[in-house]
């Protein structure tokens, strides 16, 4: 297989397996040694690239990676013999050559990998770590996002994100945090942080900051997989988890209809709705129904309901904009976010009038450096035939986005203005 194809395969496996391997290795070595665990994962992937270039791709690439990672972990444990940060049962077993390898192999079984990932999620979101550092750290360590991708998710700078991740690492060492499922009293707050991290992970996949990829299916799939993992555990199978999973299913159902064959963006109003994934919409309906159990109404419930309104509309024109605006009003009450205000203003423009939408957009001040804000302003100016204002706003949006597909769409809209 050509080297380029091997690199692509390893990159794919990194997205799907690195988080799992890191979680298991960190459970083995102790949370204080998670950087060592990450080094093992990186070394394993590098070895895969070099070995597979000469010997070819193994029949089961994932199993090959796990085998190599296990061997590296055993070697490190033998060399260091430091077990004070391990779970008591694991630490005792690792001290004996008779039990060392079997215990390591046991932790690499599928059910133990899932358990390790749950523990990793909660450890990343430990209350001793500052909240924003929890989120940044979870996205970096558990989800494998780059610093720039995390910065985009937070609408902040890479330097700020790097500092947050550093603070998280220092807290882990200072507090000697272990991988464990929290007490029932601590669960809600820590689960909320996990859900926020998965929400940001999915959003980065759905509308990527990558200059050449508008949609990162691998990130969307990983967010859905981790969310499903939460539903499989009786402790974490809550209404909010199911609501977030419903939202992800609804959004993911439109992925194939959002991009043309030439890579151009297809806007919601122009999408071929027959290409929306009916099975995913049905799954979204199922999880939304499950999420209705109890009295809890979270931001994920409201966003999922909004997404379901789009999913049930036969055409863009038949969308129940007034109903969507009602739920955005409720969402804005519980989620203070300029992005929510942006979407609420856009929906108002369809539910009431273009003028009302434009006026609501102009009242938003926190998104002056975000391309979506200026693109929305431009769209409403264009709908109102205010071509000069529309062109200025499109050009500002063009300056602010790094996405190739977004740039082409904005250029096309500017060109359409000149043809009027």
Predicted local distance difference test score (pLDDT) of residue 238:
93
Distance of CA 124 to the CA centre of its chain: 15
Q: Is the dihedral of CA 210, 211, 212, 213 positive or negative?
A: positive
In the numeric block, the tokens 């060592």 are attached to 36
In this predicted structure, which of 77-86, 191-200, 321-330, 370-379 has the lowest mean pLDDT?
77-86
**Binning pLDDT at 50, 70 and 90, where does residue 110 land?**
low
Predicted local distance difference test score (pLDDT) of residue 96:
46
Predicted local distance difference test score (pLDDT) of residue 33:
75
For residues 82 and 326, give the distance between their C-alpha atoms in angstroms, rounded to a whole number: 57
Q: Which CATH architecture best describes the domain 114-178+187-208?
A: Orthogonal Bundle (1.10)
Whether residue 83 has pLDDT greater than 60: no
Whether residue 113 has pLDDT greater than 70: no
**Binning pLDDT at 50, 70 and 90, where does residue 109 land?**
low
The predicted model gives 103-118 an average pLDDT of: 61
Whether residue 36 has pLDDT greater than 90: no
Helix (H, G, I), strand (E, B) or coil at 57: coil
Spell out the domain ranges in the chain. 1-108, 114-178+187-208
Predicted local distance difference test score (pLDDT) of residue 71:
83
Predicted local distance difference test score (pLDDT) of residue 235:
82
Cβ atoms of 103 and 93 closer than 8 Å:
yes
**Binning pLDDT at 50, 70 and 90, where does residue 263 land?**
confident
Predicted confidence (pLDDT) per residue in 156-165, tens digit: 889 999 999 9
Whether residue 97 has pLDDT greater than 50: no
For residues 379 and 420, give the distance between their C-alpha atoms in angstroms, rounded to a whole number: 14
Whether residue 105 has pLDDT greater than 60: no
For residues 48 and 17, give the distance between their C-alpha atoms in angstroms, rounded to a whole number: 13
Predicted confidence (pLDDT) per residue in 310-349, tens digit: 999 999 999 999 999 999 999 999 998 999 999 999 999 9
For residues 2 and 57, give the distance between their C-alpha atoms in angstroms, rounded to a whole number: 11
Cβ atoms of 84 and 36 closer than 8 Å:
no
What percentage of the chain has pLDDT greater than the value 70?
86
């Amino acid at each position: 297989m050509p080297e380029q194809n091997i690199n692509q395969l390893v990159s794919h496996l990194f997205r799907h397996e690195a988080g799992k391997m890191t979680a298991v290795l960190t459970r083995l070595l102790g949370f204080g040694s998670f950087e060592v665990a990450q080094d093992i994962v990186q070394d394993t992937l590098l070895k895969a690239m070099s070995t597979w270039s000469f010997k070819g791709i193994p029949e089961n690439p994932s199993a090959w990676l796990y085998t190599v990672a296990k061997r590296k972990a055993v070697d490190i444990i033998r060399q260091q013999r430091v077990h004070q940060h391990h779970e008591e049962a694991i630490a005792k077993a690792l001290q004996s050559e008779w039990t060392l390898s079997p215990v390591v192999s046991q932790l690499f079984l599928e059910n133990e990998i899932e358990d390790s990932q749950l523990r990793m999620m909660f450890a990343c979101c430990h209350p001793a770590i500052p909240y924003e550092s929890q989120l940044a750290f979870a996205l970096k360590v558990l989800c494998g996002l780059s610093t720039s991708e995390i910065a985009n998710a937070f609408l902040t700078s890479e330097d700020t994100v790097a500092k947050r991740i550093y603070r998280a690492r220092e807290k882990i060492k200072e507090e000697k945090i272990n991988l464990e499922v929290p007490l029932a009293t601590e669960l809600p707050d820590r689960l909320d942080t996990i859900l926020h991290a998965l929400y940001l992970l999915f959003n980065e996949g759905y509308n990527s900051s990558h200059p050449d990829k508008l949609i990162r299916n691998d990130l969307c799939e990983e967010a859905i997989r981790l969310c499903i993992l939460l539903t499989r555990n009786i402790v974490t199978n809550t209404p909010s988890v199911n609501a977030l999973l419903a939202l992800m299913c609804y959004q993911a159902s439109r992925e194939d209809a959002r991009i043309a064959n030439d890579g151009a963006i297809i806007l919601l109003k122009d999408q071929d709705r027959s290409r929306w994934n009916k099975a995913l919409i049905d799954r979204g309906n199922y999880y939304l129904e499950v999420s209705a159990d109890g009295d809890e109404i979270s931001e994920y419930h409201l966003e999922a309901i909004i997404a379901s309104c789009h999913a049930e509309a036969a055409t863009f024109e038949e969308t129940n904009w007034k109903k969507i605006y009602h739920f955005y009003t409720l969402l804005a009450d519980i989620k203070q976010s300029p992005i929510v205000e942006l979407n609420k203003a856009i929906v108002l423009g369809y539910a009431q009038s273009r003028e009302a939408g434009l006026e609501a957009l102009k009242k938003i001040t926190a998104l002056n450096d975000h391309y979506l804000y200026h693109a929305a302003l431009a769209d409403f100016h264009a709908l109102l035939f205010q071509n000069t204002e529309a062109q200025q706003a499109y050009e500002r949006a063009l300056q602010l986005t790094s996405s190739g597909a977004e740039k082409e769409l904005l250029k096309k809209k500017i060109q359409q203005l000149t043809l009027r």
